[in-house]
Structure formats: C-alpha cells, structure tokens
Amino acid sequence: MRYPLVYSTPVTSSFIEGVSYFPQRSILIVTIRANQSNIPYEYHDVPFQIVGDFLSAKSQGQYFNEFIKGQYSERPLLLLRDG
C-alpha cells in the first residue's frame, strides 16, 4: 500500500492546533496550543490506525492525552523565527 508523503490537517480542538503524519516513518507531529505560542511535538512509531482514531475522536485533546502522550517517544520541535 502506498501512502502520501504527509497528511496534515487542522483539528477542532481548543488544546490542539494541528496534526501532521508521516506514514512512511510513523511520525506524528502535534501542535499544542500553549499560552501565546503553538508548540509542535514529534511522536515516533505511531501506527496509522492510532492517527485515524485520533483524528476521528469526539475529543481530540482527550484522545491525545489518553492514547498518545506518554505512550510514544516524544520531543518538542524547535522552530526558527524571524526577528
């Protein structure tokens, strides 16, 4: 089965800004709303099915906290900003 290089989608959550998934490497990037900045975190070895369930969950924030955060290796992504 061939997958697109990346899935990227906004979500309807007050806690999560957006989600990107790289199926070839099973990497999920979740951008968390935090104060005035949005912080992206990278999660490794996340199965495609978990991402699908996450995106279709009634509460993506609750699903994230229960089934993703703390379950997969994570690291914050540092973004370079102008200025």
pLDDT in tens, 45-69: 999 999 999 999 999 999 999 999 9
In the chain, the number of structural domains is 1
Between 51 and 80, where is the model more confident? 51
Question: What number is the average pLDDT over the span 38-45?
Answer: 92
User: What is the C-alpha separation between 70 and 75, in angstroms, rounded?
Assistant: 11
pTM for the whole thing? 0.82
pLDDT band at 14 (very low <50, low <70, confident <90, very high): confident
Q: Residue ranges of the alpha helices (H) in 1-83?
A: 48-56, 60-63
Look at residue 61 and tell me if it is in a domain.
Answer: yes
> What average pLDDT is seen over the chain?
85
Report whether 13 contacts 19 (CB < 8 A): no
Bridge partners of 28? 21, 43
Residue ranges making up the domain that contains 63: 45-77
